Amino acid sequence: MQKRRVGVIGAGWVSAYHLPAWQKRSAQVEIVAIADPFGVAAQARAEAFGIPAIYGDAATMLAQEDLDIVDICAPRETHAELVRLAARAKVAIICQKPLATDFASAKALVADVIGTTLMVHENWRFRAWYRRLREWLDAGVIGDIRQASLEFLSSGMIAGPDGQRPALVRQPFFRTQQRLLVMEVLIHHLDTLRFLLGEMDVVAARLERSNADIVAEDVAAITLRRRSDGVLVHITGNLAVHGAPPAPRDHLRIFGASGTIELDGNQLAARGAQPQVEQFDADMVYQGSYDAAIGHFLDCLDSGKPFETAPADNMETLRLVEAIYALAQFDPEQEPR
């Protein structure tokens, strides 16, 4: 079978995880081109991953290359425009989350590209510990779910002795994002909780900003209610927690009638009627989630099966994000707390 030809749009930070995932599927695909307006970044990725063609913009790449697949891993502000561009070229598309910067824009985009082969690259739910957790839930390891609580805590927004905030050193674009913690980070957790627990609605939300070096929120308290039975799910996100590590990790507890499942970093444990513990290699799980998401995309292209993170599914995650911002009524002009 002839290999599918892949063009990548975006040579920034996240492309360093997309590109190895494509290479691991080299029996099915070949990366033939990369496009980015920052030529130095594109050149570096091309050299590192053996990509033969470099373009300064996506339109030129799509016009000059005979592509089967486009991988959009550019900044989220460009996603809607790039998806429309790729849809007109009639290629299969995998696009980094989110589809657009807000729910209304994403809804309009989905309507515009009906009939296009499109998957949202939402890789968090593909992390190995979450796939195992789902298996445990499906097997009834803790019985009926009563409650769930997720914490995502970091000290990354606390300035060190040098005056630098680690989160802003690692990802400088955080400084100017108009929607930060929920849209950029907790969107992953909302999607994963939907994958694990089912559809939910937002009951309450509060957002705050801890420092004047950013314009959007880095503190969040959110309560969700599961539609099927009213189970409450609490999310605490805070990037300015004294005593927490600069690099945050997930701490999820799901309380059931006959046990509790706890994910604490890279350890997944079930306690109660069916106790078990499993340790994971965090670095392998991180890259592995990109590998699994792209692998799922390719497997579905081959089999014709629906994408797990199809646009319709991702719209449900974006609906929660939009409801959180609407309920919280976060004011970027308010002084940091």
pLDDT tens sequence across 111-124: 999 999 999 999 99
pLDDT tens sequence across 176-219: 999 999 999 999 999 999 999 999 999 999 999 999 999 999 99
| Predicted pLDDT of residue 305 | 97
* Residue 1 clears pLDDT 90, i.e. is over it: no
pLDDT tens sequence across 59-82: 999 999 999 999 999 999 999 999
* Residue 294 clears pLDDT 70, i.e. is over it: yes
Q: What does the mean pLDDT of the chain come to?
A: 96
The pLDDT of 157-161, averaged and rounded, is 95
The pLDDT of 303-329, averaged and rounded, is 96
* Tokens at 121, concatenated: 């690259």
Please tell me whether residue 22 adopts helix, strand or coil conformation: helix
Return the bridge partners of 96, or none: 121
The pLDDT of 18-45, averaged and rounded, is 97
Share of the chain above pLDDT 90, in %: 94
Return the bridge partners of 199, or none: none
Q: Return the higher-pLDDT residue of 170 and 93.
A: 93
332: pLDDT confidence band, cut at 50, 70 and 90?
confident
Pairing between strand 29-35 and 53-55?
A: parallel
Kindly list the distances between the CA atom of residue 60 and the CA atoms of 28, 85, 209, 224, in Å, as whole numbers in the listed order: 25, 11, 40, 44
The pLDDT of 31-44, averaged and rounded, is 97
The pLDDT of 137-143, averaged and rounded, is 98
* Residue 154 clears pLDDT 70, i.e. is over it: yes
* Residue 330 clears pLDDT 90, i.e. is over it: no
The pLDDT of 88-97, averaged and rounded, is 97
Contacts of 123 (CB under 8 A, 6+ apart): 289, 290, 292, 293
| Predicted pLDDT of residue 2 | 86
Kindly list the distances between the CA atom of residue 276 and the CA atoms of 113, 241, 251, 268, 270, in Å, as whole numbers in the listed order: 45, 31, 17, 8, 5
How remote is the C-alpha of 275 from its chain's centroid? 30
331: pLDDT confidence band, cut at 50, 70 and 90?
confident
* Residue 29 clears pLDDT 90, i.e. is over it: yes
Tokens 């499109």 sit at which residue? 118
* Tokens at 82, concatenated: 């790039």
